[in-house]
Structure 1
Amino acid sequence: MSETLDLIHTTIQKEIKSLTKINCSIPPEYETVVSTLKKINGKVIFMGIGKSGHIGKKLASTFSSTGTPAFFIHASESMHGDLGMIEKNDVVILISNSGETSEILAPLDSIKLIGTTTIAMTGNSNSTLAKKCDFLIPVHVEYEADSLNLAPTSSSTACLVVGDALACTLSSLKGFTKKDFAVFHPGGSLGKKLLSDKNI
């Protein structure tokens, strides 16, 4: 195997190992979070910055298309008026691997004043974010996948996978169907296929 292919294989294996460890030790907090999200009358709002922000955008999209209305607010923009998008009946999921990122902590006091439920998605269960939020989604990885153990890789992938798992779990518990999916996703080849399916 060439050095290039070996490096690619090693990186993928590091991420797989991180996901396997999370999958083998899913904490009871996950069930509590799903129960909370299933009961809300508002929307699920994801908030993050940097790589965590990109993950938040994708998860908001996945939640919305699988039957749980959601959207994304950039943590920094929230401090300049976007907090007005948040209402009391919503739930805000704040994503930060360290749980100490200043931009993600800054909106918390205002979100509390609004009266919105908060959930921390973080790799550090002892962080400021975890302690200040109402609920916790622990997503801890021991190492990143890059050779320097610095770039958000394993940690961001883990947040994405856990978020997808929560979205799909909620979708199943709500009885979300192919017909429902077709209504929310009428475009592209997937939408065309679903809308032409006479069995839904």
Structure 2
Amino acid sequence: MQLVKEAMEKISRHVIDVSSSLDSKSIEKLIEELLNAQKIFVFGTGRSGLVAKAFAMRLMQLGLNVYVIGETISPPTEKNDLIILVSGSGETHSVVFAAQVCRKIGTKIVGVTSDSNSTLAKYSDLIITLKGGNKYRKNAEWKIAPLGTLFEITAMVFFDAIVAELMSRKGMEEETLRKRHAIIE
């Protein structure tokens, strides 16, 4: 039981530490891109993909036109669309491939990764770096947060914080989002 509390405290501290190291200009640029995009796409695999899908759900509830890459109802990405690619390592093959394809067609690419020197970062127009371990790089807290846990949790909190900022800028209350929440679950 003690390890559970210790893990929660260390993970929470990690998120706070990362929040203080975020680049304000990059965050502002991301928010502007989200507010101005005709279509927004998100993509990641594994747990990073789940985080991306959770973000897409909130963006939809904000009234934004958002799709998850790989879903059968997603339209093709086009020039000037926005894609947010999530990969802790920045080396996940399918995510890097998506970045390569989007680069060729002119889609604006936001890479969310723990490694600002990764392949994903090199293809990105905007890089959001959220420090944390990944499946290739052991972090100092690997016993309580193995593999990409710190990145994934930090990304989830980061995206929810972006949603809070978007709600504020759009003058939305929780009730507005609730009206767009699924009624059949």
| Misfit runs of 4+, over 6 Å | none
Counterpart AA for 2:149: T
Contact kept, 8 Å, 1:65 with 1:184, in 2: the verdict is yes
Matched pairs, number: 178
Contact kept, 8 Å, 2:112 with 2:129, in 1: the verdict is yes
Tell whether 2:36 aligns with 1:45.
no
Counterparts in 2 of 1:21-170, with a 5 A limit?
21-28=17-24, 29-40=26-37, 42-74=38-70, 85-141=76-132, 143=139, 145-147=141-143, 150-170=146-166
> 1: distance between equivalents of 2:168 and 2:117?
31
Q: Secondary structure at the match of 2:68?
A: strand
Could you tell me how far 1:106 is from its partner in structure 2? 1.2
TM-score, reference length from structure 1 = 0.78
Greater displacement, 146-155 / 48-57: 146-155
Structure of greater Rg: 1
Counterpart AA for 1:71: Y
Deviations 1:134-181 (A, max 9, x none): 111111126375417633221100010111111221221122245633
* Counterpart for residue 136 of structure 2: none
Q: Secondary structure at the match of 1:62?
A: helix
> 2: distance between equivalents of 1:168 and 1:93?
18
Tell whether 2:5 aligns with 1:9.
yes
Deviations 1:49-70 (A, max 9, x none): 1111111111111111123332
Could you tell me how far 1:38 is from its partner in structure 2? 1.6
Could you tell me how far 1:84 is from its partner in structure 2? 5.0
TM-score, reference length from structure 2 = 0.84
Could you tell me how far 1:89 is from its partner in structure 2? 3.8
Could you tell me how far 1:25 is from its partner in structure 2? 2.1
Give the superposed CA RMSD. 2.5
Give the fraction of aligned pairs with identical amino acids, expressed as a percent.
27
